[in-house]
């Protein structure tokens, strides 16, 4: 990915960061890069994620997928990092695939049933993914999906691939039924695992090019250097950190392509769960161009000066002409294409924010394909690791998500948890219709 941080400079935006400040910050970036390099070299927890382009084995993924390679649909059962990376890839490339990729992460019963009722389970594969193998939502949904297959008279053991850790209920299930299984790589937190079997089994079932994904990521890895002025990922990570330090505590991730909408959702977990610690961290907002020009842009341009907008330009794409019209006011559209309109709207919105002194950054792809996606995923992961070094937080843990899990288990009789008691003590002030 290429990055243009010009509209984040203090000469353009407020909050903004001066070139001189970036040059001073570059000294911290150099130190952070040394730490990151050391962590990668020693295969340390978290930093290991940045070794995935060399570590992930596409052949092992293809071998595990082979029994279900002909599936018309794939149900991925997982949540958080165990679903969003895979969904980013398959949703971005959906037009290139004959396989429908469905992601059951939420436990909304109507939504789960609507998918299971409509899919032809005879020709559907199950991709169950969980590092721990104990995540309530994933296990609950897997039990529901397995039951649906059994009720349909389909042998789920012939349609299921498991990606999990070395031990736990899913590993036991895989061993007991001799299911094709892959390992969640050690040292790689879920939100950083898109470029491993966690994110790539679904890509393989959907027929996407695993080598190209990894080549794009590897090319991005080659850019990691001791200066933000030579590394797009570090330029983005350092600029977002500097802007947050100057008041831009919100980062709206706004890709100008429907195919990248899920990438914004994946980014939200990566950014929030990695950096939201010790009362620090920048709030990611999922946005979409052009749609949010008619929704959130008013706030971005004229609301509080507490936001950065990150545009993602998708590059070259298939286009479609706008037919001529006899409506005088719209005649100008008839000479254009939808792609030209989208590009013009993107550039106009970018300029609109700059004209209002609102910081924005552009991430540029050549096109939305496996190579560029691999580079985007890797680049944003590396940007996040760098930002975590600059914030001096523990980028790779997520202790704050544990409280609600314990409360949930307590509420469902899964053990004695004081968190569940706190639920009963909710302070209420109800206003009823």
Ligand X SMILES: O=P(O)(O)OC[C@H]1O[C@H](O)[C@H](O)[C@@H](O)[C@@H]1O
Catalytic residues: 273, 294, 405
Residue 191 vs 362, nearer CB to ligand X: 191
Minimum CB separation of residue 275 from ligand X in Å reads 13
> Which is it for strands 307-313 and 360-364: parallel, antiparallel or unpaired?
parallel
Q: Is 432 exposed, middle or buried (0-12, 13-18, 19+ CB in 10 A)?
A: exposed
CB of 120 to ligand X, least distance (A): 27
Of 307, 269, 310, 270, nearest to 287 by C-alpha is 310
Q: Which of 39, 53, 81, 237 binds ligand X (CB under 6 A)?
A: 81
Diameter over CA atoms, the chain: 71
Q: How many CB atoms lie within 10 A of CB 342?
A: 18
Residue 82 in contact with ligand X, rule: CB under 6 A? yes
Question: 3-state class of 127 per DSSP?
Answer: strand
Least distance in angstroms from the C-beta of 105 to ligand X: 9
Task: Print the binding letters for residues 134-173 with ligand X: x by CB under 6 A, - otherwise.
Answer: -x--x-----------------------------------
Total interface residues for ligand X by CB under 6 A? 15
Residues in the chain: 433
Tell whether residue 191 is a contact of ligand X (CB under 6 A).
Answer: yes
CA of 414: how far to CAs of 132, 140, 402, in Å?
Answer: 17, 13, 14
The SS3 call for residue 80 is: helix
**The only residue of 131, 146, 208, 358 in contact with ligand X, by rule CB under 6 A:** 131
Q: How far is the CB of 144 from ligand X (least distance, A)?
A: 16
**Residue 164: which H helix or E strand, with range?**
strand 160-164
Segment interacting with ligand X (CB under 6 A) among 33-41, 80-88, 172-180, 326-334? 80-88
Q: Which of 172, 177, 184 is nearest to 160 (CA)?
A: 177
Q: Integer distance in angstroms from the first to the last C-alpha of the chain?
A: 51
Please report how close the Cβ of residue 87 comes to ligand X at its closest, in angstroms: 12
- Name the residue with the smallest CB distance to ligand X: 190
Residue 79 binds to ligand X (criterion: CB under 6 A): yes
DSSP 267-334: HHHHHHHHH--TT---EEEE--TTGGGGTTHHHHHHS-S-EEEEEEE--B----BPPP-S-GGGGGGG
By CB under 6 A, tell whether 196 contacts ligand X. no
Q: Does 273 bind ligand X (CB under 6 A)?
A: yes
SS3 state of residue 183: strand
For residue 129, the cross-strand partners are 163
The reply to whether 401 sits near ligand X by the rule CB under 6 A is: yes
Site for ligand X in 318-377 (CB under 6 A): none
DSSP-assigned letter for residue 184: P
- Measured from the CB atom, the residue of 79 and 312 that comes closer to ligand X is 79
CB of 386 to ligand X, least distance (A): 19
Minimum CB separation of residue 171 from ligand X in Å reads 12
Yes or no: say if 15 and 376 are a contact pair by the CB < 8 Å rule.
Answer: no
- Choose one: 28-36, 49-57, 185-193, 233-241; the region binding ligand X (CB under 6 A): 185-193
Q: Mask 24-63, x = binds ligand X (CB under 6 A)? A: ----------------------------------------
Q: Which is nearer to ligand X, 49 or 243 (CB)?
A: 49
Instruction: List interacting residues with ligand X (CB under 6 A).
Output: 79-82, 130-132, 135, 138, 189-191, 273, 398, 401
């Amino acid at each position: 990915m290429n990055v243009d941080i010009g509209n984040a400079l203090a000469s353009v935006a407020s909050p903004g960061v001066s070139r001189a400040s970036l040059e001073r910050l570059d000294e911290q970036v150099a130190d952070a890069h040394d730490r990151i390099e050391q962590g990668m070299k020693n295969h340390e927890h978290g930093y290991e994620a940045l070794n995935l382009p060399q570590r992930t084995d596409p052949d092992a993924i293809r071998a595990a997928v082979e029994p279900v390679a002909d599936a018309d649909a794939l149900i991925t059962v997982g949540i958080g990092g165990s679903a969003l990376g895979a969904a980013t890839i398959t949703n971005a490339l959906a037009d290139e695939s004959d396989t429908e990729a469905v992601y059951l992460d939420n436990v909304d019963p109507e939504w789960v049933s609507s998918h299971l009722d409509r899919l032809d389970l005879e020709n559907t594969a199950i991709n169950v993914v969980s590092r721990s193998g104990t995540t309530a939502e994933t296990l609950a949904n897997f039990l529901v999906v397995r039951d649906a297959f059994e009720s349909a008279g389909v042998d789920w053991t012939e349609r299921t691939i498991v990606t999990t850790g070395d031990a736990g209920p899913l590993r036991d299930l895989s061993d007991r039924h001799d299911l094709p299984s892959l390992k969640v790589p050690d040292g790689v937190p879920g939100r950083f695992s898109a470029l491993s079997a966690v994110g790539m089994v679904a890509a393989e079932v959907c027929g996407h090019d695993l080598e190209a994904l990894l080549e794009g990521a590897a090319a991005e890895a080659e850019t990691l250097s001791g200066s933000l002025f030579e590394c797009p990922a570090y330029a983005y990570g350092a600029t977002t950190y500097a802007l947050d330090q100057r008041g831009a505590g919100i980062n709206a991730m706004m890709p100008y392509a429907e195919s990248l909408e899920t990438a914004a959702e994946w980014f939200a977990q990566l950014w929030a769960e990695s950096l939201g610690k010790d009362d620090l961290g920048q709030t990611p907002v999922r946005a979409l161009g052009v749609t949010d020009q008619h929704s959130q842009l008013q706030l971005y341009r004229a609301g509080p000066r507490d936001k950065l907008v990150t545009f993602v330009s998708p590059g070259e794409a298939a286009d479609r002409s706008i037919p001529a019209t006899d409506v005088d006011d719209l005649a100008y559209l008839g000479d254009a294409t939808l792609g030209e309109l989208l590009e013009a709207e993107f550039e106009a919105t970018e300029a609109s924010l700059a004209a209002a002194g609102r910081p924005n950054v552009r991430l540029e792809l050549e096109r939305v394909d496996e190579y560029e996606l691999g580079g985007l995923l890797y680049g944003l992961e590396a940007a996040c690791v760098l930002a975590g070094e600059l914030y001096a937080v523990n980028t790779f843990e997520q202790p704050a998500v544990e409280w609600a899990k314990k409360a949930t288990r307590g509420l469902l009789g899964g053990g004695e948890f004081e968190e569940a008691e706190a639920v009963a003590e909710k302070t209420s002030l109800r206003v009823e219709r």
